[in-house]
């Protein structure tokens, strides 16, 4: 995962962008291994929302974990 101080718009069409604060973002590729990790770990514990690049939508963290667990 890669950390940014602003929304990484050049990467937003792929993967997941996890927002922690107005100035803290993390980007992750959309792979089965990353989905499993994000669904089961505490990495998103302090996140406020997650952007799903392929679907172009923002999701609440709880909904994102369910999405990744599918």
How far apart, in Å, do the first and last CA atoms of the chain sit?
21
In the predicted structure, residue 1 carries a pLDDT above the cut 80: no
Please give the pLDDT value at position 32.
94
Number of residues assigned to the chain: 70
Give me the domain span that covers residue 57: 2-69
Q: What is the predicted pLDDT for the residue at 7?
A: 82
Q: Each residue of 9-53: pLDDT tens digit? A: 878 788 999 999 989 999 999 999 999 999 999 999 999 999 999
Question: How does residue 58 score in pLDDT terms, banded at 50, 70 and 90?
Answer: very high
**DSSP structure string for 26-58:** EEE---HHHHHHHHHSSTTTT-SEEEETTTTEE
What pTM was estimated for this model as a whole? 0.87
Number of domains in the chain: 1
């Amino acid at each position: 995962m890669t950390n940014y101080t602003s929304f990484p718009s050049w990467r937003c069409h792929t993967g997941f962008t996890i927002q922690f604060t107005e100035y803290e973002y993390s980007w992750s590729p959309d792979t089965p291994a990353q989905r499993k990790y994000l669904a089961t770990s505490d990495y998103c514990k302090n996140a406020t929302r997650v952007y799903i690049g392929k679907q172009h939508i923002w999701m609440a963290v709880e909904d994102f974990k369910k999405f990744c667990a599918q």
